[in-house]
Amino acid sequence: MARLHRGNRDLIREINRNLVLNFIKSHGPISRTDIAHLSSLSLATVSSITADFIASGLVHEMGEGESTGGRRPVLLRLNYRAGFVVGVKLMEQAVASALTDLDAHVLHHWVTPLEDQRSLAAVQEVIAAAVEATIAASQVKRQRVLGIGIGLAGVVDGEAGMCHYSPFFGWRNVQFAQPLADHFGLPVYLENDVNTLTIAEQWFGYGHGVDHFVVATVGRGIGAGIVVNGQFYRGALGGAGEFGHITLTTDGPPCGCGKRGCLETLASDPAVVRQARAAIALGEQTALVGVEPLTLEDIVAAAEAGDKLAQRLLADSGRWLGLGIATLVNILNPQLIIVGGEGVRAGEWRFGPMREAIRQHAFDSLADDLDIIIEPAGDETWARGAACVVLGELFKPPAHKGKATDLMAAMA
Ligand SMILES: [Zn+2]
Task: Report strand pairing: 155-157 vs 162-165.
Answer: antiparallel
Question: Which residues are CB-neighbours of 282 under 8 A, at least 6 positions away?
Answer: none
Cβ atoms of residues 149 and 97 within 8 Å: no
Output the CA–CA distances (angstroms, integers) from residue 40 to 17, 45, 179, 412, in the order listed.
13, 10, 42, 27
| Position 48 pLDDT exceeds 90 | yes
Answer yes or no: do 17 and 31 share one domain.
Answer: yes
Q: Mutual orientation of helices 269-281 and 296-304 as an angle, nearest 10°?
A: 70
- Domain membership flag for residue 358: yes
Write the pLDDT tens digit of every residue in 186-221.
999 999 999 999 999 999 999 999 999 999 999 999
| Position 234 pLDDT exceeds 90 | no
| Position 403 pLDDT exceeds 70 | no
How many domains in the chain? 3
Answer yes or no: do 194 and 213 share one domain.
Answer: no
Answer yes or no: do 326 and 395 share one domain.
Answer: no
Dihedral angle sign, alpha carbons of residues 239, 244, 248, 249: negative
Output the CA–CA distances (angstroms, integers) from residue 215 to 38, 233, 265, in the order listed.
35, 12, 20
HEC string of 324-386 equals: HHHHHHHHHCCCEEEEECHHHHHHHHHHHHHHHHHHHHCCCCCCCCCEEEECCCCHHHHHHHH
Answer yes or no: do 47 and 162 share one domain.
Answer: no
Last residue of a domain, one of 78, 100, 133: 78
Q: What is the pLDDT of residue 405?
A: 58
Give me ligand 1 centre to Cα 263, in Å: 7
pLDDT band at 409 (very low <50, low <70, confident <90, very high): low
Give me ligand 1 centre to Cα 256, in Å: 6
Residue 18: burial class (beta carbons within 10 Å; 0-12, 13-18, 19+): buried
- Domain membership flag for residue 1: no
Torsion of CA 242, 201, 98, 389, to 10 degrees: -70
Output the CA–CA distances (angstroms, integers) from residue 169 to 87, 121, 163, 292, 396, in the order listed.
20, 12, 11, 24, 32
Last residue of a domain, one of 49, 78, 107: 78
160 φ/ψ sector (left φ>0, alpha ψ -120 to 50, else beta): alpha
Give me ligand 1 centre to Cα 102, in Å: 38
Last residue of a domain, one of 78, 110, 137: 78
| Position 32 pLDDT exceeds 90 | yes
When pLDDT is averaged across residues 70-80 and rounded to a whole number, the result is 87
Give me ligand 1 centre to Cα 264, in Å: 6
Give me ligand 1 centre to Cα 279, in Å: 23
Write the pLDDT tens digit of every residue in 255-269.
988 899 999 999 999
Neighbours of 381 (CB within 10 A): 24
Q: What is the pLDDT of residue 207?
A: 96
Answer yes or no: do 129 and 268 share one domain.
Answer: no
Write the pLDDT tens digit of every residue in 94-143.
999 999 999 999 999 999 999 888 899 999 999 999 999 999 999 999 99
Cβ atoms of residues 134 and 111 within 8 Å: no
Answer yes or no: do 178 and 266 share one domain.
Answer: no
Cβ atoms of residues 346 and 319 within 8 Å: no
Answer yes or no: do 192 and 215 share one domain.
Answer: no
Answer yes or no: do 294 and 384 share one domain.
Answer: no
Answer yes or no: do 39 and 88 share one domain.
Answer: no
CATH number at residue 23: 1.10.10.10
Give me ligand 1 centre to Cα 144, in Å: 42
Residue 235: burial class (beta carbons within 10 Å; 0-12, 13-18, 19+): exposed
Answer yes or no: do 353 and 322 share one domain.
Answer: yes
Give me ligand 1 centre to Cα 247, in Å: 8
- Domain membership flag for residue 203: no
Task: Compute the distance between CA of residue 176 and CA of residue 158 in angstroms, rounded to an integer.
Answer: 10
Task: Compute the distance between CA of residue 114 and CA of residue 121 in angstroms, rounded to an integer.
Answer: 13
DSSP annotation of 158 reads T
Task: Compute the distance between CA of residue 112 and CA of residue 93 in angstroms, rounded to an integer.
Answer: 9
Taking Cα atoms as reference points, which of 399, 400, 395, 381 lies closest to residue 147? 395
Instruction: Give how far the C-alpha of residue 126 lies from the chain's centroid of Cα atoms, to the nearest Å.
Output: 20
Angle in degrees, CA 174, 225, 321, rounded to 5? 110
Domain containing residue 388: 84-198+380-411
Q: What is the pLDDT of residue 67?
A: 64
Output the CA–CA distances (angstroms, integers) from residue 333 to 213, 329, 369, in the order listed.
8, 5, 10
Q: What is the pLDDT of residue 117?
A: 84
pLDDT band at 1 (very low <50, low <70, confident <90, very high): very low
Answer yes or no: do 370 and 233 share one domain.
Answer: yes
Q: What is the pLDDT of residue 377?
A: 83
Give me ligand 1 centre to Cα 255, in Å: 5
What is the DSSP code string of 47-62? HHHHHHHHHHTSEEEE
Taking Cα atoms as reference points, which of 181, 161, 190 lies closest to residue 173? 161
- Domain membership flag for residue 180: yes
Write the pLDDT tens digit of every residue in 344-364.
999 999 999 999 999 999 999
CATH number at residue 391: 3.30.420.40
- Domain membership flag for residue 243: yes
Give me ligand 1 centre to Cα 350, in Å: 21
Cβ atoms of residues 303 and 310 within 8 Å: yes
When pLDDT is averaged across residues 331-341 and rounded to a whole number, the result is 96
Cβ atoms of residues 248 and 268 within 8 Å: no
For 153-166, letters b (16+ CB in 10 Å) and e give: bbbbbbeebbbbbb
**Residue 241 identity:** G
Backbone angles phi, psi at 116, to 5 degrees: -100, 10
When pLDDT is averaged across residues 232-260 and rounded to a whole number, the result is 91
Give me ligand 1 centre to Cα 200, in Å: 26
Task: Compute the distance between CA of residue 345 and CA of residue 132 in angstroms, rounded to an integer.
Answer: 31
Answer yes or no: do 320 and 388 share one domain.
Answer: no
